[in-house]
Amino acid sequence: MNTIVMKFGGTSVAGTEKIRNIADIVIKEVKNNKIIVVLSAMAGETNKLQSFLDDFASQYSLESDLVLTSGEQVTIGLLSAQLKNKDIKSIPLLGWQIPIITDDNHEKAKILHIDNKRIEKFFEKNDVIVLAGFQGISLDGEITSLGRGGSDTTAVAIASSVGAERCDIYTDVDGVYTTDPNIDLNAKKIPKMSYEEMLEMASTGSKVLHTRSVELAMKNNLTLQVLSSLTKETGTFIVDEKELIEKEIVSGVSYSKNEAKVTISGILDKPGISAKIFSLMTENNINVDMIVQNISQDGISANITFTISQKDFDLTKSVIEQNRNSLNYKSLSLDKNVAKISVIGMGMMSQAGVAEKMFKTLAKNEINILAISTSEIKISVLIEEKHTNIAVKSLHEAYNL
């Protein structure tokens, strides 16, 4: 008998009606499979608990994890009760009861080990295990959390651990789209894509799955399906690239408005100055994405432009200003009104002209490119935020998506 892992996020468990709906979805699969259901807390609950913690300005991550992991305890109990109401043999389990052993990095713990024998033992008397996502236990016996979105990681980790046939991630969208349907009505659901494409999608703004969960699925070659808990349609399968017989040159266009652009002007163009800037960023845990360096018009000083996450805006500004003397620059400007647009596709690796088409399409629409970064399966450009919609739509059309 196969094992299937089914994960339901916060909006899918928000309220008793939705939990009834999940029970119905689980019951359809239970005849032919052993089922592990992984649940998040009810949507809104984690925010409520976080606001309590904020009231105390709590910087104590042991306490934060304890408070935040109480939400899943409620949803797993309720779903298990409803499954029993429907005569399904079910057991609700917390992270420490499996146990899901993690390191002791509270609020962003990594899973170290899952004891399979215990899972087998629970399946001796039960057809469904309802497992609390997001949480684990450290070797010291403290409750840990995997960080926001960590339930995806729980689901993939347990699926990998038991060798599940697949891991279905139920969300409020019915799959991964070629671009955001809110921007472009022509956006289409992608039936099948590679882990690499999904990772690029996630890192460029399509927050369908927790990045760590995709990396873990890729490492374990576990098939993921992203689908909706409200429709009965097949979702998007995320698989090894070898299983993609016909690779699309470009499979999707994504965008992110969470970027900020930093420009440091009039720095002396001598070796080591870039290294100095970026080691400052690293020291302060500021993630730098795109980097462009130009000689300025006077021919002796240089300008450096790079992008950061908007949340690091204030920190970046103060770090650079505090080091004004050693960096010896003329001016600093930061700008939040930028967007990153990315085209992603496994086919790019073997196809020339993908970047050219991107730049031409943007030029035709009179959109200026502020910075560029590329990977084997992705090209990202930074543009002014106001051009986001027209950029996404025109690129989506240009690549025939």
- Which stretches of the chain bind a copy of itself, using CB under 8 A? 16, 19-20, 49, 52-53, 55-58, 60, 62-64, 66-67, 69-71, 73-74, 76-78, 80-82, 84-85, 91-92, 94, 96-97, 141, 143
- Supply 290's token pair: 């795109």
Distance CA 331, CA 186 (A): 43
Q: Torsion over CA of 179, 183, 185 and 191, rounded to 10 degrees?
A: 20
Evaluate whether 275 touches 338 at the Cβ level (below 8 Å).
no
Nearest CA among 179, 217, 229, 205 for reference residue 11: 229
Q: Which residues, listed in sequence order, are joined to residue 298 by a DSSP beta bridge?
A: none
Q: How far is CA 64 from CA 147, 285, 289, in A?
A: 11, 21, 30
* Number of neighbouring beta carbons within 10 Å of residue 227: 23
Helix (H, G, I), strand (E, B) or coil at 256: strand
The least distance separating a copy of itself from the CB of residue 160, rounded to whole angstroms, comes to 24
Distance CA 382, CA 342 (A): 9
Helix (H, G, I), strand (E, B) or coil at 161: helix
- Supply 74's token pair: 């409620």
- Supply 155's token pair: 């689901």
Distance CA 216, CA 221 (A): 8
Helix (H, G, I), strand (E, B) or coil at 376: coil
The least distance separating a copy of itself from the CB of residue 361, rounded to whole angstroms, comes to 52
Of residues 12 and 394, the one with the C-beta less far from a copy of itself: 12
Evaluate whether 165 touches 226 at the Cβ level (below 8 Å).
no
